């Protein structure tokens, strides 16, 4: 028996969105020249207009960050920098509900996730890195490591504030100053974060936020005053950035795409595995670089797994992201919806069989029903390309060796999952898998202390943990 859920919408009254925003440069909001709209993808309602930053804006932001670096931030002790990070973390916790509601409105993801996952993790990242600020001798780049100076940070729309935290917290802990550009469809929580910087009395110019489009990002990449680039987004743009900095002294960390394999062995606890499959691909509408978007299931349990998965999917609730009972919210943009539709159509055209539970899609906004494809082969586009939506490709295997071969048969190498009750098999498989993050009997678990990142076309470097901090520090030898 299933029960109907009464609507339980979170109130929007806690957020105050301005009609128009400028950039946050040198501790102040400054007027923009041209503006573009950011919408709520669940309703298509225009939320606000944000400034489209150009070369001059980036120039001003970099200058402010340079002055802040030389005059203030590089002169503070680690313990003093840590105090600011702790302060920011506490304010983020105090204002968590406001951030969760705003993130849900601007991005389309369910409030259940922004409230319980995104925002708590954001605060956790600041707390974690606050603790490192006075212990940089132990990061692993020798004693008295040095910051790079001004770092340019470009982030995507799938975890807007969380990606800001992944980038800003370690950069500041290590002693760098920042020019950050949020994604064009989700700039609002970054602008609210700018208010938090003011509230925390962070010295002006330490964090600068310039909103804008791809070209604005390119201005950051190409600015001579930037010492290091940290980027999360598509592999395509990641490659452009790598080319752009190839003949400069700039360094980069790149967190790019993925096509994670979630491997279910015959001896797995099937009910738990089904929960893990659902979490692996339907969390955040599948807009997750480390999503378990390829299910590799051992042939002799495939029917059982798919049947149970379908019955579980029938209970997934899609709809108003602000409703506390919603599991799947809106697709972030029209363009992303088109991309998902196009890839799903290719899946059917190439011989895959699509299945979705009965699910009514709201009239306005951008929606895609949770979908699984069976009968998928490795040659199909939906087995090779990142769909970045709630679409799972199911492949089968007979032997563990075949599972590994298929899992590794991808240009990406970001994440993988292993489901088995046998510890030795889990360890064996983890050793063979060419992926930066491997979960065993769980999926999509994140912690600021554990490094995250990929191999091959999934990017360069790690974020989080001691390994992530290394990317923001130079050893004595590098300085000389």
| Catalytic residue IDs | 255, 289
185 binds Mg ion (CB under 5 A): yes
Closest CA to 374 of 356, 357, 355, 390: 355
74 binds ligand NAI (CB under 6 A): no
38 binds Mg ion (CB under 5 A): yes
Q: Which is nearer to Mg ion, 190 or 254 (CB)?
A: 190
Structure tokens of 102? 């705003």
For ligand NAI, the binding residues in 318-337 under the rule CB under 6 A are 336
Q: How far apart are CA 423 and CA 417, in angstroms?
A: 14
DSSP, collapsed to helix, strand or coil, labels residue 223 as coil
Contact range with ligand NAI by CB under 6 A, out of 29-37, 141-149, 213-221, 320-328: 213-221
Residue 341 touches which member of Mg ion, ligand NAI, none, C-beta under 5-8 Å by kind: none
| Of 50, 92, 102, 154, the one binding ligand NAI by CB under 6 A | 154
| Of 109, 115, 181, 250, the one binding ligand NAI by CB under 6 A | 181
Closest CA to 41 of 283, 335, 326: 335
Burial class (CB in 10 A: 0-12, 13-18, 19+), 477: exposed
Contact range with ligand NAI by CB under 6 A, out of 27-35, 40-48, 216-224, 443-451: 216-224
Q: Which helix (H) or strand (E) holds 231?
A: strand 228-232
Residue 240 touches which member of ligand NAI, Mg ion, none, C-beta under 5-8 Å by kind: ligand NAI
Residue 38 touches which member of Mg ion, ligand NAI, none, C-beta under 5-8 Å by kind: Mg ion
257 binds ligand NAI (CB under 6 A): yes
| Of 218, 264, 302, 328, the one binding ligand NAI by CB under 6 A | 218
240 binds ligand NAI (CB under 6 A): yes
Q: How far is CA 169 from CA 54, 209, 415, in A?
A: 25, 14, 23
Burial class (CB in 10 A: 0-12, 13-18, 19+), 190: buried
Return the ∠ at Cα 353 (arms to 376 and 281), rounded to 5°. Answer: 70
How many residues at the interface with ligand NAI, by CB under 6 A?
25
Q: Which is nearer to ligand NAI, 63 or 336 (CB)?
A: 336
Q: Round to the nearest angstrom and report the end-to-end CA distance of the chain.
A: 70
3-state secondary structure 261-276: EEEECCCCCHHHHHHH
For ligand NAI, the binding residues in 339-398 under the rule CB under 6 A are 339, 386, 388
């Amino acid at each position: 028996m299933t029960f109907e859920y009464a609507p339980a919408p979170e109130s929007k009254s806690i957020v105050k969105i301005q009609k128009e925003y400028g950039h946050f440069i040198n501790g102040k909001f400054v007027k923009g020249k041209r503006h573009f709209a950011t919408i709520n993808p669940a309703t298509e309602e225009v939320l606000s207009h944000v400034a489209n930053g150009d070369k001059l804006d980036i120039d001003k932001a970099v200058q402010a960050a340079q002055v802040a670096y030389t005059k203030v931030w590089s002169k503070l002790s680690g313990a003093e920098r840590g105090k600011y990070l702790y302060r920011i973390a506490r304010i983020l916790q105090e204002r968590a509900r406001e951030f969760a509601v705003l993130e849900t409105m601007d991005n389309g993801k369910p409030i259940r996730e922004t409230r319980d996952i995104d925002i708590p993790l954001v605060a956790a990242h600041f707390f974690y890195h606050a603790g490192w600020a006075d212990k940089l001798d132990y990061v692993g780049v020798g004693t008295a490591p040095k910051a790079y100076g001004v770092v340019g940070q470009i982030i995507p729309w799938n975890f807007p504030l969380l990606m800001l935290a992944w980038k800003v917290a370690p950069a500041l802990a290590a002693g760098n100053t920042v020019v950050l550009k949020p994604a064009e469809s989700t700039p609002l929580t970054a602008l609210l974060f700018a208010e938090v910087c003011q509230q925390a009395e962070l010295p002006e110019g330490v964090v600068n936020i310039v909103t804008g489009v791809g070209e604005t990002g390119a201005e950051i990449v190409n600015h001579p005053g930037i010492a290091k680039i940290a980027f999360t987004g598509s592999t395509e743009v990641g490659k452009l950035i790598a080319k752009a900095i190839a003949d400069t002294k700039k360094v980069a960390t790149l967190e790019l795409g993925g096509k994670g394999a979630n491997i279910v062995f015959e001896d797995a606890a099937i009910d738990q595995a089904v929960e893990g499959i659902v979490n692996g691909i339907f969390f955040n509408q599948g807009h997750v670089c480390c999503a378990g978007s390829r299910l590799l299931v051992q042939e002799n349990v495939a029917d059982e797994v798919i049947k149970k998965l379908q019955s579980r999917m029938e209970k997934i609730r899609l709809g108003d992201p602000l409703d506390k009972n919603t599991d799947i919210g809106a697709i972030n943009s029209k363009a992303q919806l088109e991309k998902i539709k196009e890839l799903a159509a290719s899946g059917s055209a190439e011989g895959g069989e699509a299945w979705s539970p009965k699910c009514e899609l709201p009239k306005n906004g951008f929606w895609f029903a949770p979908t699984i494809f069976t009968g998928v082969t490795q040659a199909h586009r939906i087995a090779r390309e990142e769909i970045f939506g709630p679409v799972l490709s199911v492949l089968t295997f007979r032997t563990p060796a075949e599972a590994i071969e298929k899992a590794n048969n991808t240009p990406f190498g970001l994440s993988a999952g292993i489901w088995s009750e046998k510890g030795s098999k889990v360890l064996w498989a983890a050793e063979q898998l060419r992926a930066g993050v491997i979960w065993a009997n769980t999926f999509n678990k994140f912690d600021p202390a554990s490094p995250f990142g990929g191999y091959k076309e999934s990017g360069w470097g790690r974020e989080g943990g001691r390994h992530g901090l290394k990317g923001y520090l130079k050893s004595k030898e590098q300085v000389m």
